[in-house]
Amino acid sequence: MLCLKKTFMEDLPSLLGRQVKIAGWVHKVRALGGLVFIILRDCTGLCQVVVKGNPDLVKLARSLNMEDVIEVKGIVQRSRSRQFPVEVVAESISVLNRVIGGVPLDVTGAIEADLGTRLRYRVADLKRPRNLAIFRVQAELVDAFRRYLKERRFIEVHTPKIVVYATEGGAELFEVKYFENIAYLAQSPQIYKQMLVIAGFERVFEIGHAYRAEKHSTVRHLNEYVSLDIEMGFIEDENDLINFEEDLIKYMLQSVEENCSRELKLLGAEVTIPDRIPKLRFPEVKEILVEYYNLKEYEDAEDLDTRGEELITKYVQENYGVDMVFVDLFPLSSRPFYTMPYDEVYGRSFDLIFRGLEVSTGSQRIHQYELLRQMMIKKGLNPDDFKYYLEAFKQGAPPHGGFAIGAERMTMKLLGLCNIREASLFPRDRYRLEP
C-alpha cells in the first residue's frame, strides 16, 4: 500500500519522474474532452495535474468545481505548459471535500471584488495567492523583528491586555466587564514594558494586539492592531533609540527582500533599503512646511497631520532620495505624560514616517519618580490611578525608552496597499466586528 506523505507544489520540480501525492484546492479546471487539466493550489503555489486515458478518472476530473479539496497521486513529468515547468500525471484522484453552493468570490483573481465584499467573504478572499503573499511578507517582518531583538539580548514578553489604567493619552479605550469591576483593553503595552525594564529585564519586546476605541473610519486606522513594541534600559537619550530603530528597520526590510522575493514579485512591490534614514527635528519640519512649502498654517502646529506627513515624505524623497524619515523632538503638548522633556516645549519623542504615514512612535521615558508625577498632573491625570506603575519608579528605574511599530501600517506601506484592512487578516474597524 502506498503511503506517501504530501508533497508541496514548490518541491515538484526537483522530483521529476517520481511518484508523489499532492493535495490542495482546485484552482481551475480546463477540460478538453478526454483530456483534463486541473490547476491545483496549496500553500506553496500552483501545480498542473493532467488527467487522460482512464475514462473514470477523466469523468471525475470533469466533475470538479473550483475550491473542491482533492488529493492526487501521480508521476511528476516535464510539462508542455507555458506556465508550469513540471506537471503531475494523475494515477488516482480522491475528493476529500466538495464545495457547497459555490465560492462567493473569484479566487483566481480574474474578477476583482470590492474590499467590502472581500472582507465579508474573507476566507474565500484569503484563498487568493495575492493575499497569502501579503501575510507571508507580514510574517517575515515580524519574524525579522523578533530575530533582530533576540540576538541583542532582548527578551520576548506578554503583558496583560486587560488593564485598569484609565488612560495614558488621548486615545479612547474599550470597556470590558471584569466580574464586579470595569476594565479596559490595553491601548498599548507601554506601562508594562516600562515596569519590566525597571524590574531588571533591561530589554524587552512584545508582539501583541493594541486596542483603540476611536470612531475613525479611514484607510490607515484599525481598532485592533498588532504592535511591535520594544523597551530598553540604559540609553543615553532618544538618539540611541532612533539609531537602534534605524538598524532594526533596515534589517526587517532586508529580510523581506531576501526571503520574500516571490511574494514581492506577485504583489508588484519593491523594497528599497535606505543607506541612512534622515533625522529631522520637529522645529525643522515645521520650518520646511512653512518656508519650503509656504504653508503658513503650520506656524503654530504642535503635531503633524496627514498632509504634513505626506509633504515631509515628499521633501526627503526630493532631498535625500529616500522614502522614510525620523522626526524627533515633538512638542510635549502632543505626546503622552511619560515623555522625557527636552526643554520646556519639546519632548524626546520621535516618529518614523514611511511613505507619508507614521508607522512608528517612540521616546525616551521619564525615569524620575517626582518628574513623572508632575507630568501626570500637568496632563490632567490622577497619579492615584497609576499607583502600581508609579511605585515602580521608586524601586530603581534606569534611564530608558522604547518604541512601537504598527505591523499592519508597515506592511501596508511596504507593499503599497491602499487600505490597511488588506494588511489585517480579519480587520476590526468602526463597523466591522466579524468575521
* Residue 162 binding RNA, by CB under 7 A: no
- Of 50, 204, 269, 372, the one binding RNA by CB under 7 A: 50
Residue for cell digits 534605524? Answer: 246
Closest-CA residue to 194 (of 185, 186, 204, 184): 204
- Of 13, 104, 208, 383, the one binding RNA by CB under 7 A: 104
Which part of the chain contacts RNA (CB under 7 A), choosing from 50-58, 154-162, 277-285, 342-350?
Answer: 50-58
Distance CA 312, CA 51 (A): 58
Cα atoms in the 13 Å half-sphere on the side-chain side of 159: 26
**Cell output for 181:** 469591576
- Of 14, 81, 243, 395, the one binding RNA by CB under 7 A: 81
Closest-CA residue to 420 (of 42, 76, 119, 68): 119
Q: Closer to RNA by CB, 108 or 259: give it.
A: 108
Contact 365, 390 (CB under 8 A): no
Q: Closer to RNA by CB, 53 or 160: give it.
A: 53
**Cell output for 125:** 478572499
Helices of type H across 88-163? 115-120, 122-126, 129-150
Q: Closer to RNA by CB, 57 or 199: give it.
A: 57
Contact 46, 9 (CB under 8 A): yes
**Nearest approach, Cβ of 30 to RNA (angstroms)?**
4
* Residue 92 binding RNA, by CB under 7 A: no
Strand spans (E) along 222-354: 224-233, 279-281, 324-328, 349-354
- Of 13, 169, 274, 383, the one binding RNA by CB under 7 A: 169
In this structure, are strands 155-156 and 203-211 parallel, antiparallel, or unpaired?
parallel
Contact 55, 37 (CB under 8 A): no
**Cell output for 80:** 508542455
Q: Closer to RNA by CB, 318 or 434: give it.
A: 434
- Of 122, 127, 203, 212, the one binding RNA by CB under 7 A: 212
User: Which 8-state DSSP code applies to residue 3?
Assistant: -
User: Which 176-195 positions form the footprint of RNA (CB under 7 A)?
Assistant: none
The Cβ of residue 192 has, within 10 Å, a number of other Cβ atoms equal to 23
Contact 428, 408 (CB under 8 A): no
* Residue 333 binding RNA, by CB under 7 A: no
- Of 22, 204, 222, 248, the one binding RNA by CB under 7 A: 222
Query: Alpha carbon 252 to chain centroid distance?
Result: 12
* Residue 119 binding RNA, by CB under 7 A: yes
Which part of the chain contacts RNA (CB under 7 A), choosing from 16-24, 108-116, 317-325, 373-381?
Answer: 108-116
Query: Alpha carbon 361 to chain centroid distance?
Result: 15
Distance CA 28, CA 368 (A): 64
**Nearest approach, Cβ of 129 to RNA (angstroms)?**
14
* Residue 65 binding RNA, by CB under 7 A: yes
Which part of the chain contacts RNA (CB under 7 A), choosing from 241-249, 280-288, 387-395, 403-411?
Answer: 403-411
Q: Closer to RNA by CB, 373 or 430: give it.
A: 430
- Of 190, 194, 361, 411, the one binding RNA by CB under 7 A: 361
- Of 245, 325, 351, 354, the one binding RNA by CB under 7 A: 351
Distance CA 370, CA 174 (A): 30
**Nearest approach, Cβ of 1 to RNA (angstroms)?**
28
* Residue 382 binding RNA, by CB under 7 A: no
Q: Closer to RNA by CB, 84 or 148: give it.
A: 84
User: Which 252-311 positions form the footprint of RNA (CB under 7 A)?
Assistant: 305-307
User: Which 413-432 positions form the footprint of RNA (CB under 7 A)?
Assistant: 418-419, 421, 430-432
* Residue 28 binding RNA, by CB under 7 A: yes
**Cell output for 111:** 474578477
Tell me the site size for RNA, rule CB under 7 A.
Answer: 69
Which part of the chain contacts RNA (CB under 7 A), choosing from 144-152, 231-239, 259-267, 401-409?
Answer: 401-409
* Residue 82 binding RNA, by CB under 7 A: yes
Give Cβ neighbours of residue 18 (< 8 Å, ≥ 6 apart): 75, 76
* Residue 221 binding RNA, by CB under 7 A: yes
Give Cβ neighbours of residue 397 (< 8 Å, ≥ 6 apart): 194, 197, 198, 367, 368, 369
Identity (one letter) of the amino acid at 326?
A: F
Cα atoms in the 13 Å half-sphere on the side-chain side of 414: 32
**Nearest approach, Cβ of 57 to RNA (angstroms)?**
11
Interface ranges with RNA (CB under 7 A): 28, 30-35, 37, 48, 50, 52-53, 62-63, 65-66, 79-84, 87, 89, 102-106, 110-117, 119, 169-171, 212, 214-223, 225, 305-307, 336, 351, 358, 361, 406, 408-409, 418-419, 421, 430-432
